[in-house]
Amino acid sequence: MKPITLCGLLLLSSISLQAQTRHEQSLNTWQFSRDSLHWQTVSVPHDWAISGPFDKKWDLQVVAIVQNGEKEKTEKSGRSGALPWIGEGYYATSLNVGDMSGQRYTLEFDGAMAEPTVYVNGHKAGFWAYGYSPFRLDITPFLHPGSNTLAVSLRNQPESSRWYPGAGLYRPVKLVTMPVVSIDPWATFLRTEKADSASATLAFDTQVKGATGQEGWAVEVSLLNPKGWVEQAAHASLDQEGRVHISLPVANPRLWSPETPHLYRVAVTLYQNGSVVDAFHMNTGIRTIAYSKERGFELNGQARKFKGVCLHHDLGPLGAALNKAALIRQVKALKDMGADAIRTSHNLPSQMQMEVYDSLGMMVMAESFDMWRYPKCKNGYAQYFDEWSERDLTHLVLSNRNHPSLVMYSIGNEIPEQGSREGRDIAGRLQDICHRYDSTRPVTQGMDRVDAALKSGFAQVMDIAGFNYRVHKYDGAISQLPKGFLLGSETASTVSSRGVYKFPVRFKVASEEADGQVNGYDTEWCSWSNLPEVDFMAMEDKSYTIGQFVWTGYDYLGEPTPYDNYWPSRSSYFGILDLAGLPKDRYYLYRSVWNTQEHTLHLLPHWTWPGRERQVTPVFVYTDYPEAELFVNGKSQGRRQKDKTLRGDGPLVSTPELAAERAKRYRLMWNDVKYEPGELRVVAYDASGRPAAEQTVRTAGRAAAIKLKADRSTLHADGADLSYITVSLVDKNGTELPTATDYIEVEVRGAGTFKAICNGDATSVEVFTEPHMHLFSGKLVVTVQAGNAIGDIDVVVKDKKAKLQNTIKLKVAGK
């Protein structure tokens, strides 16, 4: 490696940025057909199934869910979302190519659901089996100068998924034009070798096929700060195999973390005899990670525990179609809750996801598979595993290892083979594949059969033993784990419906009820799981735990436990936020524990209960403050303190009695309050006993107006940016009507279009892509999409029955 002077460094960087010949073109506009006869123009990313209609006949599965402890097969009407995603779909577009001399053309798919076969000018260019895997095809041999036809056919098999997978070209597609001899970003690995606030050392490796050191080839790496200035650069010649290694020192680095997600721009340039041949940019974050028995998980030398959530890939009413603004909204809500990590359950993440996680600061467990050889559903990934798993796992690592947000890989979830020698051997082989291409990050997986996994040696093989639930087995397992620590790879599975409260309030395992809803008091869990308090205690009181990933951050389409056999029910109840992205009460319970930078004070339930006068209506408060006093119409209901004497030292078994007792450590509960219309007020006290905050909830009257609240009022004119508008009804005093179910109609005018609508009701079969829907628990969310032109958007919302109307104005500005 040869260092470069500042003057030369700036010159070379300027040449690199101006002379690059690489070009990336997003392929957004396609023709789409379900039968290859009738075509329509669509924008990619695209999910052909999200418009419905919902119907129990779509992918109706009659199965016993082994993971839920079921032994008898029953009808699972909403298991994969009750949307028409089964079958074939066809996409076609045209490519205009100029002079092809000295150029190479690669199609890059970030994922295509499913089994995509790609054709160029009628010739088969390639196939990939796994719908979640990124893949690339060199289509140079099939192209000619001028107009070319690109076509993709896809097939979704029935009973191939345990949740809604979406359908079609649901992630971005790009055409990359580059020189014949060029740098491959997937062959490029940039990582932090050491770092502190004073200095850091980055290591860079790549291999350039078709180039050797004898031919005057060299690579330059330049590190740019956020203002565009080059902070450091170095270059080196290629060796005989076209490889290069560069060590890049950095003074006074800005370290990446969830709290400070600093990113540097990196310019990578390929030279031959001093002339620029190829160049591309990437982002990097300077940070170190470490795992040990003594310190657990460390980021930048600081011990911390993961406050993570699991996320499926759908974006609620958008379906599986990827959208950057939707991802950003997700992450911002989770970060406000105090979360700092995401597990991409149970599949490979998209590059757009990883870029958002890099920029906003979310650590990532990047997962690969939900099954290996043994099928969990008839046509699942097991049919591909032997032939494709190494290729898919290799693509997971190569496409993601340059992202600073990535802190571990996962090779599986609740794999049935975990109790066998075969499973232990497969786990070791898959882990070795990850290590082969990235030795800097550990590998984990989620295990649910803990005793079997320990007996077979399956758990001991892993860099990180990940336990799905089974918190009561932690103490017995830790002595058998050579690494000396374990991860809650999937936790809680508490279930609730936003804004739905049932009486009497009971702590219990959730079961089906006539309305298809689960109590919003956050007192119900699944037969295999527990309430949040169990995991809070495990993380706080057991030093060997390194954190948790809650199932789930958001509700998702499919898996409507505990209503797997109930119709209509087509989406989950596990989410801390609902399918529309609205927080459930449980959001504030997590926030009160996880968000240590801001105070939390949240009161539940609502206080509009006509017909419940003088009946017991328990009140819960979620707060980080240690004590609070509750008032009903000014009359004190007494002060409550959190019981910090409750400990999680022993096996954390979940029973209704223990759940109710443990809740006292994290919740303030007034279980004997009798409902009176009027005002419910809570005053929180700090550690010194002084009033610190208060919240008031009032009884709502008749609807007097429509309330509209947009998460963003200014959008970018890129044809994809989104604003989410929360709709509710309020009385003459501005109090929201918490039980309203009015039918809402929406009209979007001007420089944008209506995109989707969702109310968060798992039992609703109203279509997401039509501009009307009923309120659920008093709310729904309208999604509006910007066009490509600057201007204003008027969103008109009507409640014809109540004779109410309101308009909110959004702006569309330049990109």
| Distance from the Cα of residue 322 to its chain's centroid | 11
Packing angle between helix 351-360 and helix 324-337, nearest 10 degrees? 40
DSSP H helices, 712-783, are none
CA dihedral 110, 116, 121, 122 (to 10 degrees): 170
Q: How far apart are CA 266 and CA 188, in angstroms?
A: 12
The torsion defined by the Cα of 122, 128, 132 and 136, in degrees rounded to 10, comes to -70
The CA distance from 310 to 490, in Å, is 7
Going along 383-430, which residue ranges are E strands?
406-413
User: Is the link from the previous residue into 716 a cis peptide, with omega within 30 of 0?
Assistant: no
DSSP 458: H
- Alpha-carbon distance of 341 to 363, in angstroms, equals 4
Strand order in the sheet with 804-813: 714-716, 804-813, 791-799, 743-750, 772-774
The answer to whether 322 and 171 are in contact (CB under 8 A) is yes
- Rounded (10°) angle between helices 324-337 and 585-594: 60
- The answer to whether the beta carbons of residues 206 and 189 sit under 8 Å apart is yes
> What residues pair up with 154 in beta bridges, in sequence order?
89
DSSP state of 183: -
The tokens describing 552, both together, are 């789930």
Known active-site residue 490:
yes
Collapse the DSSP code of 138 into the 3-class scheme (helix H, G, I; strand E, B; otherwise coil) and give the result: strand
At 674, the amino acid letter reads K
Of the candidates 220, 231, 367, 490, the residue annotated as catalytic is 490
- Asked about 422 being catalytic, the answer comes back as no
Token pair for residue 451? 């005793």
Calculate Rg over the CA atoms of the chain: 27
Per the residue annotation, which of 115, 414, 417, 736 is the catalytic one?
414
Would you name the residues annotated as active-site residues?
414, 490
